[in-house]
Structure 1
Amino acid sequence: MSSFTEAVVLQVGISVLLALGYWIAVSTGKYSFGHTAFMAIGAYTASILTLNFSWPLPLAMLASGAAAAVAGALIGWMALRLSMLYLAIITFIFSQLVNLLISQWEYVGGASGMIGMTGTTVPLVLGCVLIVVAYLVLLSRSRLGLAYKAIREDERAATASGLRITRIAVGAFATSAAVTGVAGALSAHQLMVINPELFGPRQALLIILYCVLGGVEYFWGAALGAVALSLLPIYFDWLNEWYEIVYGLLFVALMIVRPQGLIGRRGGGRIRLPRIPAGRERESVG
């Protein structure tokens, strides 16, 4: 395998991990606009452990996933009780706070970031992708997977059937954050340098687009969306200069023309904006 092919496989594999991680949260109908925060937590946690404490990368990846999961559970517990609008705002603010913190934290290099991380390999990335895919296959066939779908399709009906939707959604959010944190750790040790700019709004938009393009009804739709959007800038260099404009227009077009994504049944797995009851927030259960 040539060095170019290896770099492409690594980039695509990490993007697929990010897409699958985000899909776990979206599969319950909860859309986060701050998943880059969990990616940053994973990247910096693993980098600190490998560079400053000489941990092996696989062990550092587990720690990064655990750190991101804890952060995801805390943010999810606070935000998932609210409507989608407030969830989007809170997760976006959280990502900006994390970005500000690491840019001011001299221990991790501040705005300059960290450098010197190595160890990401094709077998390691593909192994992580296979583990997550296997988990999602089992999840889709389990009662928990059916509960995710029930919450996404009709939260009120899911509540009436006795599902503790807040507890289930927080668990999904924590799992989603863990996978995203592992992807962040792999990304840091592939790029060999990280800084706060890598985890800004541009990356947040890209993660969302992975799922929106492929569709949120099936996890493999999100994976295919990640593959497509990862390969486009590699083979079409002009996209790097017009990235935000082209991908922003793509996001808007998909919401208008095909909100269920390129893969998915019409009306299935589409983004639904819930109404906010006047004078109060939606009540939570669980």
Structure 2
Amino acid sequence: MSGYLTGVLVVLAFNVIAAYAVYLPLAAGQLNLGIAGFMAIGAYGAAFLTNEYAWPLWAAVPVGAAAAGLTGILIGIPVLRTHGIYLAMATFALGQVISAIFLNLEVVGGAAGYPVTDYAGPYAVFAAAGGVVALMLLISRTRFQLYLTAVKSDPTVADLMGISVRGMQVAAFALGAAVAGFGGAFYAHHYNFVEAQHFSVLLSVYTVLYVLFGGTQTVWGPLVGAAFFTLVPELLRASNEWRYALFAVFIILFMAVRPQGLVTAALLRMFRRRTAEGEA
């Protein structure tokens, strides 16, 4: 595998992890625009443990993810009292605050960035992304996913059915934060450098676009959306002067025609039906 292809696939792996971190809160009807902040917590937390305390990578990464998840719980309880655009604005501000904290925290390099000693190779990153996809597929087959769908569809009815709406929202928010922290921890150890400027609001916005484009109705949507936004610009690289314009026009037209996203529940049902007919 060439270095260029490996680099593109590594970027794809990180985008897939980030997309699923956004997908989990969206599955409960929450738009989290602060996902980059939780990635920063995982990145700096795991890097600090491997740098300063010589922790092995396999131990530091889960702790970084857990720190992001715990932060998600502590922040999610008050923040999730808001809804709609107010929730989006609150998470947007949250991401900015977290990034600003690390930007001014001298113990991890401040604005100059933080070099990381341990290295996670490309195949470790691929395995991490594969593990996240497997986890999402597992969750999609549990009652937890059904409860999230119920909360998103109609919180009042879900509450009448005995589902703890706030509890499910906080759980989805915290689990998404933990997945983001997991990806951030691997990011720090693959590139061997962390800087707070990378975890900007643009990273959160791009990641939300992956999920909305791929679709939020099925667990495959974030994977397809992340792959599209990562690979198609590279395929258009030959027309370097126009590739971003062509890409933007296509996205606008596509979302106007298919606002529910690329992968929908109806599309998957049709695919399964045709597969079953073909086997018969």
Task: Report the TM-score when normalising by structure 1.
Answer: 0.84
Letter in 2 for 1:104: N
Q: Tell me what 1:210 maps to.
A: 210
Letter in 2 for 1:176: G
Secondary structure, in 3 states, of the residue corresponding to 2:167?
Answer: helix
Residue deviations 1:145-170 (CA, integer Å, cap 9, x gap): 11011111122221221211100111
Q: Tell me what 1:284 maps to.
A: none
Matched, 1:37 2:45: no
Q: How many residues align?
A: 266
Residue deviations 1:90-109 (CA, integer Å, cap 9, x gap): 11111111111111111111
Task: Report the TM-score when normalising by structure 2.
Answer: 0.86
In the alignment, is the contact (CA less than 8 A) between 2:21 and 2:35 conserved in 1?
A: no
* Bigger shift: residues 187-196 or 209-218: 187-196
**Residues 168 and 186 from structure 1, CA distance in 2 versus in 1: closer, same or farther, beyond 3 angstroms?**
same
Unaligned runs of 5+ in 2: 267-280
Q: Tell me what 2:271 maps to.
A: none
Unaligned runs of 5+ in 1: 267-286
Secondary structure, in 3 states, of the residue corresponding to 1:260?
Answer: coil
Instruction: For 1:123-142, list aligned pairs within 5 A.
Output: 123-142=123-142
* CA–CA distance in structure 2, aligned partners of residues 22 and 88 of structure 1: 12
Residue deviations 1:76-127 (CA, integer Å, cap 9, x gap): 1112222122211111111111111111111111111112444222332232
* CA–CA distance in structure 2, aligned partners of residues 139 and 90 of structure 1: 27
Instruction: For 1:155-194, list aligned pairs within 5 A.
Output: 155-194=155-194
**Residues 193 and 95 from structure 1, CA distance in 2 versus in 1: closer, same or farther, beyond 3 angstroms?**
same
In the alignment, is the contact (CA less than 8 A) between 1:114 and 1:194 conserved in 2?
A: yes
Alignment RMSD: 2.6
* Bigger shift: residues 224-233 or 195-204: 224-233
In the alignment, is the contact (CA less than 8 A) between 2:188 and 2:194 conserved in 1?
A: yes
Secondary structure, in 3 states, of the residue corresponding to 1:219?
Answer: coil
**Residues 248 and 242 from structure 1, CA distance in 2 versus in 1: closer, same or farther, beyond 3 angstroms?**
same
Deviation of 1:58 after TM superposition, in Å, equals 1.8
Deviation of 1:258 after TM superposition, in Å, equals 2.8
**Residues 28 and 257 from structure 1, CA distance in 2 versus in 1: closer, same or farther, beyond 3 angstroms?**
same
In the alignment, is the contact (CA less than 8 A) between 1:75 and 1:91 conserved in 2?
A: no
* CA–CA distance in structure 2, aligned partners of residues 196 and 224 of structure 1: 28
* CA–CA distance in structure 1, aligned partners of residues 243 and 192 of structure 2: 23
**Residues 236 and 117 from structure 1, CA distance in 2 versus in 1: closer, same or farther, beyond 3 angstroms?**
farther
Q: Which of structures 1 and 2 has the bigger CA Rg?
A: 2
Letter in 2 for 1:16: V
Letter in 1 for 2:195: N
Instruction: For 1:5-44, list aligned pairs within 5 A.
Output: 5-44=5-44
* CA–CA distance in structure 2, aligned partners of residues 5 and 195 of structure 1: 25
| Structure (1 or 2) with the greater helix fraction | 2
